Structure 1
Amino acid sequence: MHYDTYLAQHRTRAADLRAEADAYRLATAAKQPYAIRTRLGWTLVEVGLRLASPGPAFAH
């Protein structure tokens, strides 16, 4: 094949990858309201685990 053919294929694939990346960015940007809820949930889990774990043992 001629190098122009490879170059055309590369440009087409690069454009497809850019479009896919843009679609992914838009999809993740739409989920942002749940990010706060997720962080709050994991913070509550961490606090619960700290409360449930036994405290440090002191040597008398």
Structure 2
Amino acid sequence: MLPETHLVLHHTHAAELRARATTHRLATAATPPRDLRVRLGWTLVEVGLRLATAAPKPVAAV
């Protein structure tokens, strides 16, 4: 591939990535913050994992 062609493809890809980043930035700025929902969700995941894992069996004294 010619270097000029590679450079054009690089610039095109970089422009597409910048456009996607701008779109994402604008979309996340328009939505309300979800800090409480995120913390509550991860807390529920942690509780569920604790309930799902088996408790360690006690070691018998010899």
The residue type equivalent to 1:36 in the other structure is: P
The offset of 1:51, in angstroms, is 7.4
C-alpha separation in 2, matches of 1:51 and 1:7: 55
The residue type equivalent to 1:25 in the other structure is: A
The residue type equivalent to 1:44 in the other structure is: L
Higher helix share: 1
Listed as ranges, the matches of 1:23-34 within 5 Å are 23-33=19-29, 34=31
Of residues 7, 17, 22, the one that matches 2:18 is 22
Structure 2: gaps (5+ residues): 52-62
**CA-atom RMSD, angstroms?**
3.0
Task: Give the % identical residues.
Answer: 14
Is the alpha carbon distance of 1:15 and 1:44 closer, same or farther for their aligned partners in structure 2, counting shifts above 3 Å? same
Runs of 4+ in structure 1 off by over 6 angstroms are 50-54
Q: What is the aligned length?
A: 49
